[in-house]
Amino acid sequence: ETQGLYKTKLAELLWLADFAHFSLKGTSITGLSYVKMPYGPAPDRFHILLGLLQESGCVDMVTQDFGEYSGDLIRARKTPDLSCLSESEKGVLEAIVLRFCSMTSKELSDLSHGELIWQSRPDGAVLPYEEASGVGVIRELKRELC
């Protein structure tokens, strides 16, 4: 579990988990496509996915103000059922939580902005899973997981 889970942070963590698992096993965890957005990688049509999670009662979203900025805080309303995940998927998720959940949305955004996969594409472009192994932070995670 992570404290202060905002939309940008969730998008970044999902991207890291999916791309790390793809780099290790050749499949993503969620099956989502990711696109370049101004604050970093995000699932394609992320707002629709979050809306569905909210409508189904899985999460609540609350807008919080921070001076000149605001963010949508996401809170789980149900305990997730992780029984559908493989051991490798659970391992990747645990590694992501341990390594990145203490980081802020801004720190995670800066991390992805430093990667060529993000820098080399225009906003809205798909980020191909086939380039996961070329992402520096994914290479580091892969070394830790192997």
Bridge-based pairing state of the strands 34-37 and 69-76: unpaired
| DSSP letter (8 states) at residue 51 | H
Helix (H) or strand (E) holding 73: strand 69-76
- pLDDT at residue 66 is higher than 90: no
- pLDDT at residue 146 is higher than 90: no
**pTM score, whole prediction:** 0.92
Helix (H) or strand (E) holding 25: helix 7-25
Confidence at residue 89, expressed as pLDDT on a 0 to 100 scale: 97
Residue-wise pLDDT for 110-125, tens only, equals: 999 999 999 999 999 9
Mean pLDDT computed over 64-91:
90
Which band of pLDDT confidence, cut at 50, 70 and 90, is reported for residue 68?
confident
Mean pLDDT computed over 52-81:
90
**Max CA pair span of the chain:** 43
- pLDDT at residue 36 is higher than 80: yes
| DSSP letter (8 states) at residue 142 | H
